[in-house]
Chains A and B, each alone.
Chain A
C-alpha cells in the first residue's frame, strides 16, 4: 500500500494542469467557475481542443481514441479539468453514448458514430426519462413498432438535457409489450432531424433553458440504428447509468468551488474585517472540506477497485459517491449563497456597468441561480433515494 502519487503520476498531473490553463480559453473557464451557463459553441470549442490533444475520450477503448490510462491517471485528469474550471467533455457523447456503443454496438455503427462523437461533430442527448417514468425508469412507454426496415416511434421523453443543441438522441423504447417490463426495452439511435420530432423547452427554476421535452409522432427510424440486441436495452442502460454515477461525485468541481469561496470570502466585507475573519463561516467551510477529503479518497478506492474488475456490472459503491458527492456540490452552493448574503437577492440584467451590480460585487447575482440549479444533482442520475435502494440491495443484501 502506498498512498502517495508516484513521480510519474505527479508529472502527469502537472502536464494536465498546465494544458488546461494554457490551452482552454480563459473566458470559458471563467464562465464555468462563476456558475454561468455555457453556449453550445463554448462546449464545442473546449472539447475540440481536448480532442486534438487526444484527451476528449481517454476512457474509451484505444482503437476509438482511448488512452489506456491507469485508473489513477483518469482520476487525475478528471480532477484537474474540474479544478481548472474546464468544461468536462460533453457528457452524453463521451461518458454515456460512447462507452455503450463501443461495448455493445456493431463495427459499422462504431465507425460511423464514435469519431464524430469524440470531436463533438454530432451532439448526442439522452432519451431515458418520461413523464410517467422517472425513478421507475423501466416503466417507460415510448414505443417502437417494427414496420419493414424501420421502427415507428411514438411517445414522449422529458428532462432531455441540452436537447436543443442535439443532432442525435439515444433512446430507450419499448419493443416488447408482453415481456416483464425490463425485458421489453431496446436502445435506439434517432436522428433529431427526422420528421415527427418536436423539442419543447423546459425552463428550470433559475431561469435557464437547460432541459427539454421531446415528442415523437410516428417517427421512422431505420432498424440498423438499433444498438445490440432487441429487448436487451435495459442491460445497456444499467451499464450506462453506472458509468454516469462514477463521474457524478465531481469532487474536483466542489474543490474548485470551495477554493473560490475562500478567495471571495477574503474580499467580502463583514464586521471589522471580511467574511474570512468570521470563525463560524470558516468552520462551515472546513466542515465541507473534511467531508470532501474523505470522499476524494473513497473515490480513489472505488476507482482502484474498478480498475481491477473486468465486469460491466455496476459497482454499488459508486452509489455512495453519487449520494455524498451530490450533497457536497449542494453544500458548496449553499456556502456561496451565504457568502453573497443580502446581495444574493438581486437579479440584475447583465451587461450593464459595474456600478449597477449589487454592492459592486461582480459575482453575487450568480450565487442564488447556482444554488437553485444545483438542487438537481441529488435528483438526476437516479435520485439519492434510489441510490440508497441500490446499496441496500447490492451491498447490504437487504
Chain B
C-alpha cells in the first residue's frame, strides 16, 4: 500500500490543475464558458485534447495514454476544484469507459482516433422517465431487423448530448421492462435519422438533453458486446462514473471549504473576525471531516473500481456514492450557512460549488438507491 503519486501521476495532476486554473481564473470566466452554445467553448475542449485527456482511458496499443482509476481521479479532482464545464464525465469517463470495456477491436479502431484528436465526443444515455436509478429498467427497444437493430424510445437528462457525436444507448432487445437480461448497449451517431436531441442548461451550469429515438436503424456492429447481456457492462460504466463523480466532488468540496475558512478569517462582526467564534470554528472542523472522509472514499473508489469481483465492486461503489452524497449535502449546506447572505448570491463562486455538489448527489444514484444495493448484498460491506 502506497498513497504517494508516482512521477507521471504528479506530472499529470500538476498539468491538469494548471490547465483548469488557466481556463477558469474566476467565476466570470466560468459563466462565460457555460454560456457558450454547447455549454463550453470548443477551444477549451481542444486544450484538454492537447494535454491528451480524451486518450487517457485507453491503452497505448489502442492509441490512448494508458491511464487508470488513479489518473481519472486526479483529472476529476481538478475538474471539481475549478468547476470545469467541459464534458469530461460524459465523454472521457462514461462514454469512453463503455467503449473501452465493451468495444470490439474494430469499434475501438474506428472511434478512438477521433476521440484522441478531439473531433469526436461521447455520452451515455441510460435514464428513462420511469427508471429512476435502476439501470435494468429499460423501456427503450432495439428490435432486430435484418443484420441490425431499430431503436425506439426516449432517454432523459443525458449529459452533454448536444455536443456528443456518438451516444451510448441502453435499449431492450428482449424481455420485459425490468428484466435484467435482454439489454444491449448501442453506439448511435447523434446525427442518425430519427434521433432527436432537445438540450437545455442544467442546474449546475452544465448541459443535458432529452434524447428520443424514432425508428433509428443501426447496423449489427453498433452493439457493444452481447446485445442481450449488456447490463453488466452498463453497471461497470456507471461504477466508473461514480468513482469519477466522487473525485469531482472532493475537488469541489476542497475549494468550497477553503473559501469558507478564508471567509471566516476575513469577515468581521462584533469587532472581531467571525472565525474567532467557537460555534463557527467547530462547524468548519466538521466540514473538514466531511471532506477528508469523502477524500478517503474517492481513493477507495479508485482502489475498487477495477476489482474483478463484481459483488465486492458493486457494494464498494454503492458505499462510495452514499458517503459522497452525504458529504456533498452536509459540506455544501454548511458552507452557505457560514457565509451568510453572500453565500446565497449568483455572483459568489461558493454558491456555484454548492449547486454542483447538490447535483452530484442526484447523479448516478441517490443515497436510498445505493443503500438498497448495500443492504441487498448478503454480507454487506465488511465482506468486501
Contacts and interface: CB of A to CB of B under 8 A. Distances in A.
Interface of A: 1-6, 9, 72, 255, 258-259, 262, 279, 282-283, 285-287, 289-291, 293-298, 300-301, 304, 317, 320, 323-324, 385, 388-389, 391-392, 395-398
A290 B300 CA distance: 11
Contacts of B303: 3-4
Given A282-B380, A283-B371, A396-B261, A6 B1 contact: yes
Given A72-B1, A398-B261, A398-B264, A293 B281 contact: no
Given A291-B323, A294-B293, A279 B375 contact: yes
Nearest to A2: B2
A283 B382 CA distance: 14
B1 A396 contact: no
Nearest to B10: A1
A285 B375 CA distance: 9
A157 to B, nearest CB: 28
Nearest to B68: A1
A298 B292 contact: yes
Given A1-B4, A290-B374, A295 B293 contact: yes
Given A283-B371, A301-B3, A293 B282 contact: no
Interface string B275-289: 110100110111011
Interface size class of B (residues with CB under 8 A): 35 or more
Contacts of B289: 320, 323-324
A64 to B, nearest CB: 27
B265 interface: yes
Given A4-B303, A297-B300, A392-B281, A290 B288 contact: no
A82 to B, nearest CB: 13
Per DSSP, chain A at the interface is: helix
Given A286-B380, A289-B380, A392 B284 contact: yes
B313 to A, nearest CB: 14
Contacts of A290: 319, 322-323, 374, 381
A300 B371 contact: no
A3 B299 contact: yes
The 3 tightest CB contacts between A and B, nearest first, are A297-B296, A3-B303, A392-B281
B316 to A, nearest CB: 8
A300 B261 contact: no
Chain B CB within 10 Å, residue with most, of A1, A296, A395: A1
B300 A398 contact: no
A290 B371 CA distance: 10
Contacts of A398: 261, 264-265, 275-276, 281, 284
Contact of B5 (A1, A5, A259, A285): A1
Chain B CB within 10 Å, residue with most, of A255, A323, A392: A392
A141 to B, nearest CB: 26
Nearest to B277: A398
B9 interface: yes
A283 B375 contact: yes
B292 A320 contact: yes
A258 B296 contact: no
B247 to A, nearest CB: 13
B381 A1 contact: no
A391 B299 CA distance: 23
A389 B281 CA distance: 8
B216 to A, nearest CB: 40
A298 B286 CA distance: 15
Nearest to B302: A3
B88 interface: no
A72 B3 CA distance: 11
B293 A304 contact: no
Given A3-B299, A398-B281, A398-B284, 14 more contacts: A3-B3, A4-B1, A5-B1, A9-B1, A286-B319, A286-B375, A289-B382, A297-B297, A301-B299, A304-B2, A324-B293, A388-B285, A389-B278, A398-B261
A388 B281 contact: yes
B222 interface: no
Contact of A259 (B264, B286, B297, B382): B382
30 contacts: A1-B2, A1-B3, A1-B70, A3-B3, A5-B1, A283-B374, A286-B374, A286-B380, A287-B322, A289-B374, A289-B382, A293-B319, A294-B296, A297-B296, A297-B297, A298-B293, A300-B1, A301-B296, A304-B2, A323-B289, A385-B282, A388-B281, A388-B282, A389-B278, A389-B281, A392-B278, A392-B284, A397-B261, A397-B265, A398-B275
Contacts of A291: 293, 323
Contacts of B4: 1, 304
B6 A392 contact: no
B296 A396 contact: no
Given A285-B380, A286-B381, A398-B281, A294 B323 contact: yes
A55 B319 CA distance: 34
Given A1-B5, A3-B303, A298-B296, A396 B284 contact: yes
Nearest to A259: B382
A320 B297 contact: no
Contacts of B5: 1
Contacts of B371: 283, 286-287
Contacts of B322: 287, 290
